[in-house]
Amino acid sequence: MTKTFKTLDDFLGTHFIYTYDNGWEYEWYAKNDHTVDYRIHGGMVAGRWVTDQKADIVMLTEGIYKISWTEPTGTDVALDFMPNEKKLHGTIFFPKWVEEHPEITVTYQNEHIDLMEQSREKYATYPKLVVPEFANITYMGDAGQNNEDVISEAPYKEMPNDIRNGKYFDENYHRVNK
Percent of the chain with pLDDT over 70: 99
> Sorting pLDDT into bands at 50, 70 and 90, what band is 2?
confident
The per-residue pLDDT for 73 is: 96
**pLDDT band at 67; cut points 50, 70, 90:** very high
What pLDDT score was predicted for residue 178?
63
pLDDT at 1: 73
- Residue positions annotated with a catalytic role: 26, 71
Contacts of 153 (CB under 8 A, 6+ apart): 49, 175
Q: Assess whether pLDDT exceeds 80 at residue 177.
A: no
User: What's the pLDDT score for residue 102?
Assistant: 95
List, in sequence order, every beta strand (DSSP E) within the chain: 14-20, 25-32, 35-40, 49-54, 56-61, 64-70, 76-82, 87-94, 129-142
Contact in structure between 73 and 95 (CB atoms under 8 Å)? yes
Confidence of residue 39 (pLDDT cuts 50, 70, 90): very high
The answer to whether residue 131 scores a pLDDT higher than 80 is: yes
pLDDT, tens digit (0-9, with 9 covering 90-100), for 150-165: 999 999 999 999 999 9
Question: Considering the chain, what is the average pLDDT of its residues?
Answer: 96
Whole-number pLDDT of residue 86: 98
Q: What is the pLDDT of residue 99?
A: 95
